[in-house]
């Protein structure tokens, strides 16, 4: 096997951002090479139904949507491969990135679309009920829990935002907060405290989840380890994790400017990073919206910028 290759445009990661970048780069005759990463298709492959992506009036299975985006990218000549980029060298051009199989790829431009992974509690039940009551995105899945009872885990701004959003859809929202206080900003705290549909369960931890054909409730403990520790079951239909996301950017941290939580910093209004010819798209550079349609748009932007960059250096 050839252990060194060359490409004008390398796309790292898949999902809406990566595949859209591949579509646009392919249509621009850049012959992009794409490595899909650890989770081919990104986070949406763990979502049973996507109802808020334009063009699917009846909704679409997450896996199906990613398969169709991949097929569209391949139609325009994208060379899509399974595999992970484990090393990057942006010290000189062309840039050199290494795959988990030891293949070194020389690339004139690089589009990073590695996404971000939701943080979970680490309970086996989270996997068991994933897509059957467990979610890490209220905006994505909240619609399925209209007039139902749900719980949100977390005490920061994200958790308060998720709880407020769900309160507009659900009959009841519990916030499971490990500490005796919320870490969220004063504005967000007041918002959830004033909402009659939201009940905050302070000093609570989740021990597990239960249900026969889907999620039916959570095993909780109040004041874990204290003399007055209390264990009980809380009947709920949905369990939403809101304890943060971890951007999948570790392999690039030696070269790219990242914020304090690891998200790639880009020039305002563009996908440009601090390295010329290296662009970031999707959730790896977006700590705010984390939506498929936003990621797809940023993938388009990254491909257009890569095309312009190549046109300049190849004059």
Catalytic residue annotation = 137, 140-141
Is 143 in contact with 51 (CB distance < 8 Å)? yes
DSSP string, 77-135: T-EEE-B-EEEEE-SSSSEEEEETTS-EEEEEEEEE---EEEP----HHHHHTBTTTEE
Is 35 in contact with 12 (CB distance < 8 Å)? yes
Please compute Rg for the chain using Cα positions: 21
Distance CA 65, CA 71 (A): 10
DSSP 228: T
15: closest CA among 214, 293, 315? 293
Distance CA 33, CA 47 (A): 26
């Amino acid at each position: 096997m050839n252990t060194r290759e060359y490409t004008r445009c390398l796309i790292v990661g898949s999902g809406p951002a990566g595949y859209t970048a591949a579509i646009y780069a392919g249509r621009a005759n850049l012959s992009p090479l794409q490595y899909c990463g650890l989770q081919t298709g990104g986070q949406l492959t763990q979502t049973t139904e996507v109802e808020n992506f334009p063009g699917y009036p009846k909704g679409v299975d997450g896996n199906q949507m990613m398969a169709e985006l991949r097929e569209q990218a391949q139609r325009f000549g994208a060379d899509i491969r399974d595999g992970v980029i484990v090393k990057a060298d942006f010290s000189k051009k062309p840039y050199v990135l290494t795959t988990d199989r030891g293949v070194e790829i020389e690339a004139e431009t690089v589009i990073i679309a590695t996404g971000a992974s939701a943080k979970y509690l680490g309970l086996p039940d989270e996997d068991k009920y994933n897509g059957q009551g467990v979610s890490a995105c209220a905006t994505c899945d909240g619609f399925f829990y209209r007039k139902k009872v749900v719980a949100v885990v977390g005490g920061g701004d994200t958790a308060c935002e998720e709880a407020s959003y769900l309160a507009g859809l659900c009959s009841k929202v519990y916030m499971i907060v490990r500490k005796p206080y919320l870490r969220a900003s004063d504005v967000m705290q007041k918002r959830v405290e004033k909402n009659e549909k939201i009940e905050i369960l302070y000093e609570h931890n989740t021990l597990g989840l239960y249900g026969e054909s889907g999620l039916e409730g959570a095993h909780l403990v109040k004041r874990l380890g204290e003399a007055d520790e209390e264990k009980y079951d809380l009947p709920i239909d949905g369990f939403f994790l809101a304890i943060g996301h971890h951007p999948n950017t570790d392999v690039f941290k030696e070269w790219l400017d990242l914020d304090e939580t690891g998200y790639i910093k880009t020039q305002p209004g563009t996908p440009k990073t601090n390295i010329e010819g290296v662009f970031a798209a999707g959730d790896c550079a977006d700590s705010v919206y984390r939506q498929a349609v936003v990621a797809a748009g940023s993938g388009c932007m990254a491909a257009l910028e890569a095309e312009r960059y190549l046109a300049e250096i190849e004059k």
